[in-house]
Amino acid sequence: MNSGTNRPGQPPNLGRPASGGDIAIIGGRVIPVVGEVIEGGTVVIRNGTIAAVGRDIAVPEGVRTVDATGKWVLPGFVEAHGHVGVHEEGNGWAGQDTNELTDPVGARFRALDAINPADEGFRDALAGGVTSVVIKPGSGNPVGGQTVAVKSWGRIVDEMVFAEPCSVKSALGENPKRVYGEKKQTPSTRLGVAAVIRDALRKAQDYKIKRDHAAAENKPFERDSNSEVLVRVLDGELPWCQHTHRADDIATAIRLADEFGYRLVINHGTEGHLLADVLAERNIGVIIGPLLTSRSKVEVNQRDLRNPGLLARAGVKIAITTDHPVVPINFLVYQVILSVKEGLDREVALRSITINPAEILGLDARVGSLEVGKDGDVVIWDGDPLEIMSRARTVIIEGRQVYEFDDAAGHGVTVDPYSELSATGGQR
């Protein structure tokens, strides 16, 4: 079986880490994101989990060490909105599984069922220091389906998942009205898109009452896959990731959230800066981007690298996204760098691709910072990652060294997950 890893060679220090994901990174400039910078610090990972972070920490016997002297040690980046593996690059229609455009209400659709770990985007993610990706259905449907949080390396997606479902994807604006308008069916307007969403959520409210009544009476009940998922949204269990660009669509997203009481997350938010005070007051997180794109349609006419800074200064919690493959996922940090150039605070910038997306989507118990008990996802950079010439040198996921930049070859090398996992009996 071919993993799709087609970069030849392997640097001599890559190798397989100690069994169980035990590794210690020593001597580097440790940036925990949450907490103070630690000069000459150590990060110890045991059984795939961070066991210690600090200075003058003794490395347990038998734990392999990686010398990070002169380098920067950070948590792996978190991409909060991508289509890696469901929109495969270079495979045309055969690798395009982002939108199921036959039903405007697709809460039952799962991104999980379409992810191909052999997509080259996962290798690019590692090269860009991205170790976690929230993969989402596209924006062709008013209700697109369930999202999933995965690590950027693995043999099959089931071994990569760490939160499923993560949220439910919904879309307002141009995309769903264009898709169904061309079919001459509802929804073909913005008012139609909002009505489809509202009808689906009302149906879920009624469904919950009937389901709970049947359970209390110990009677059989006919299940509805869409409503089952939407009840979890209404109960506050799953956030509602709302694709929306224009300010009027953002206002509609807020109106719907107020009506049904679910936890709203704005995705894209191109004109979010126009409502920054409203978003901040309501504590609504914004996953903003992609930022390195042309103004390809009306609703992204205000796309601007200044917008993340405008939102953040207003008190909005932001995460920055590539919307891969709209912008290649390894360019995530470059979008952040250019946003800093245009006014985004450097500390907020780093948080926007680490702890902020983790907190916005409820993943912060696992990823987003270097803290004891979190997953051992660590990236060693040869300098400040917010300097454009810096490079991710070593990537570690759950204590397993999966990527190394090979100076002699001039490119990065990824461990083949098929040979690696099969050699350890499938144990991560």
Per-residue pLDDT reduced to its tens digit, 225-243:
999 999 999 999 999 999 9
Amino acid at residue number 310: L
What's the pLDDT band for 426 if we cut at 50, 70, 90? very low
Query: By the 8 A CB rule, do 382 and 393 touch?
Result: yes
Model-wide pTM > 0.95: no
Domain with CATH 3.20.20.140 in the chain: 77-360
User: Mean of the pLDDT values across residues 41-70?
Assistant: 96
Query: By the 8 A CB rule, do 175 and 84 touch?
Result: no
Q: Is the pLDDT of residue 17 over 80?
A: no
**pLDDT at residue 150, as a whole number:** 98
What's the pLDDT band for 419 if we cut at 50, 70, 90? confident
What's the pLDDT band for 181 if we cut at 50, 70, 90? very high
Fold of 23-75+370-423: Urease, subunit C; domain 1 (2.30.40)
Query: By the 8 A CB rule, do 210 and 175 touch?
Result: no
> Can you tell me the distance from the alpha carbon of 94 to that of 161, in angstroms, rounded to the nearest whole number?
23
User: Mean of the pLDDT values across residues 154-159?
Assistant: 95
Q: Which is it for the CA torsion 74, 79, 85, 91, positive or negative?
A: negative
Both ends of the chain: CA-CA distance in Å? Answer: 19
User: Mean of the pLDDT values across residues 308-317?
Assistant: 98
Q: How many CB atoms lie within 10 A of CB 296?
A: 10
**Cα distances (Å, whole numbers) of residue 36 to 41, 53, 241, 347:** 11, 11, 32, 12
**pLDDT at residue 420, as a whole number:** 63
Q: Which candidate, 229, 87, 251, 96, places its Cα nearest to that of 172?
A: 251
**pLDDT at residue 90, as a whole number:** 86
Beta bridge partners of 148: 135
The DSSP 8-state label assigned to residue 76 in this structure reads P
**pLDDT at residue 20, as a whole number:** 47
User: Mean of the pLDDT values across residues 218-222?
Assistant: 93
Tell me the pLDDT of the chain averaged across its residues.
93
**Cα distances (Å, whole numbers) of residue 275 to 150, 269, 279:** 32, 10, 6
Per-residue pLDDT reduced to its tens digit, 329-363:
999 999 999 999 999 999 999 999 999 999 999 99
Q: Which candidate, 127, 188, 150, places its Cα nearest to that of 410?
A: 127
CATH of 77-360, one of 3.20.20.140, 3.40.50.300, 3.90.105.10, 3.40.640.10: 3.20.20.140
Domain with CATH 2.30.40.10 in the chain: 23-75+370-423
**pLDDT at residue 421, as a whole number:** 55
> Based on the number of CB atoms within 10 Å of its own CB, is 162 exposed (0-12), middle (13-18) or buried (19 or more)?
middle
